[in-house]
Amino acid sequence: MSTMTGPRFEMRRLTESEWLILDDRYESTDARHTVACVSRVSVDQVDVVWLRPVTGRRRFATVADVLEAVRSTLSAADPAREPA
């Protein structure tokens, strides 16, 4: 059995206007590790490409809003499951 410490989801900045949302429950070589790709489209809007099912919503005000959507949706969906 593995025990996770710290936050499960991570927002990693790639460029000034692009981020990845990562699920640290999975190894970086596991396709489930990357949850979403986020790109800034304007000062007050980011666009999301979902790589795992989270929500149908594609636009958010901030990257932090995307991260919160991931945390609330995926944490609630499988709070006690171990990685495969």
**pLDDT confidence bin for 82, thresholds 50/70/90:** very low
- The Cβ of residue 47 has, within 10 Å, a number of other Cβ atoms equal to 14
Domain residues of the chain, as ranges? 9-77
Distance CA 57, CA 48 (A): 8
Task: Enter the pTM of the model.
Answer: 0.79
Least Cα distance to 28 among 12, 46, 47 occurs for 12
Residues facing 49 on adjacent strands? 37
Check pLDDT > 90 for residue 21. yes
Q: In percent, how much of the chain has pLDDT > 70?
A: 83
In the prediction, which pLDDT does 50 show?
Answer: 96
Specify the higher pLDDT residue, 74 or 67: 67
